Chain A
């Protein structure tokens, strides 16, 4: 089982990112669950969502304690939340950032999702859309296939710019 924790702020699309990722994994022929953690959320507050991907049906409902991968959609969350909490040794941290970030004992990669969204003018209510480009980055990272990523995005969004943004993120993800 591969377990992913997504950190974002309320309203940034972290829950939709989890849903897209799970849907793409299902299109890959795997089992997947996406679960937002519901606390007393409001727009702008740090939130977490969870995605589990496995070859067998998933029977776990409790929160992910020891993720294989952490995704940070808003780097400012790192000032208030320990995003590395429980991350498996050598686990992967993917950060929405124009600059490389180093995390001792973990692998890291970065991609400027905000810049990509702004370039495509993917903005809703003043916020850049991060959840479709991040799926492109995750396809590059090998979590889901590129075809399934695009299929999932097209099923949920009719605006083709979402796919273009995902393709950009695929290209731009740091090695």
Chain B
């Protein structure tokens, strides 16, 4: 059914259809509408879930961990400082192999007190063992949230999944949304190590130096296995519902001399920059990175690469640029743009490409020190 929805509402719609047994969440701008809408679905009876209103994000994730270990489907949503406050528990969720799904509405970190889009919040969770996908439209927010449950709960994965939406730019924009009857697309949640009162077992016991690394390796093994599960799930989604997704969304890449790589809404707007550049005779393409973890194999052979990071690792560089250079062993033109919601237009993106200097870093808008 065709309707109009914000990114936040699209996530809530998907959650309603996935029917988690437990939702535990704490509101934070610009995520609030997600938890408001889910709470409304629960209170109206449209969604038969247990909604736990917790007193903090740390507790939200702790409650999801407790619920998930019983084998029930769980969902939460947060943003920015809320995500950071969860950090101890996000590690625990992945380590305990719990397929929790979380929507994170990407927002800058303070100070200054800034509520606008930036990816640094999610990227500070990069090494926790969560799968991370970044979406760019309201439709994709809905579709990716549905798929997140199936991927997380797959027996070869059993790791939590974070669905990332740009704060305000996507969380609050209104776009067409086509909701679907998912039927049996998401099979019932089955957690092989769920608590079973008939077969008591210990959880979270002391794990010695002779064992811990095995559990760490097991996370990595599942992370590697998740590559085929993601591909399978996205293929099946396309077959049943007609919308195709992949690790990247490639736009005019095959014959391109220069490829723009970005995540989220910037990656979508980059396509408009590509059209502009092509009219000027510059053979550009856009490769919007959707999955950051697991990090896909990118084929960039013979291409010049312009990476736009809406994030930064102080003392090193743009996080995406760093990851891409590590994988491809090639230099890129690294652009730092859009921090704290800084306005970046397709015309700006086209200008980054025209003025590219491979092997250097460029901070958009910075002409001298503050």
Q: Which of B96-104, B169-177, B204-212 contacts A (4 or more CB under 8 A)?
A: B169-177
Residues of B contacting A58 in the complex (Cβ-Cβ under 8 angstroms):
175
Asked if B292 CB lies within 8 Å of chain A CBs, one says no
Range class of the B interface residue count: 20 to 34
B118 within 8 A of A: no
Interface residues of B in 1-30 (CB under 8 A from A): 2-4, 30
Q: Once the chains bind, are B173 and A26 in contact (CB under 8 Å)?
A: no
Q: Which residues of A contact B176 (CB under 8 A)?
A: 26, 31-32
Partner of B272, one of A35, A38, A59: A59
Q: How far is the CB of B324 from chain A (nearest CB, A)?
A: 22
Q: Which of A31, A61, A63 is the one whose CB lies under 8 Å from B265?
A: A61
Stretch of A15-23, A97-105, A112-120 contacting B (4+ beta carbons < 8 Å) = A15-23
Q: B345 interface residue, CB < 8 Å from A?
A: yes
Cβ A34 vs Cβ B174 within 8 A: yes
Interface size class of A (residues with CB under 8 A): 20 to 34
B344 interface residue (CB < 8 Å to A):
yes
Residues of chain A within 8 A (CB-CB) of B115 are 38
Taking the nearest CB of chain A, how far is it from the CB of B22, in angstroms? 31
Q: Is the CB of A59 within 8 A of B174?
A: no
As a 0/1 sequence over residues 227 to 271 of chain B, the CB contacts with chain A under 8 angstroms (1 = contact) are 000000000000000000000000000000000000001101101
Residue B343, interface by CB 8 Å? yes
In angstroms, how far is the closest chain A Cβ from the Cβ of B173? 5
Assess the B269–A60 pair: CB atoms within 8 A. yes
In the complex, A62→B272 CA distance in Å?
A: 11
Docked CA distance A61–B173 (Å): 9
A34 to B115, CA, bound (A): 20
| In the bound complex, CA of A32 to CA of B166 (Å) | 19
Q: Is the CB of A62 within 8 A of B174?
A: no
A27 CB, min distance to chain B CBs, angstroms: 8
B75 at the interface (CB under 8 A from A): no
In the A-B complex, the 5 residue pairs with the smallest Cβ-Cβ separation, listed nearest first, are A62-B345, A34-B174, A61-B265, A35-B173, A23-B4
Interface set of B (CB-CB < 8 Å, partner A): 2-4, 30, 115-116, 137, 166, 168-170, 172-176, 265-266, 268-269, 271-272, 343-346
13 interchain pairs, CB-CB under 8 A: A18-B174, A23-B174, A26-B176, A33-B173, A34-B4, A35-B172, A38-B172, A57-B137, A58-B175, A61-B169, A61-B266, A62-B269, A62-B346
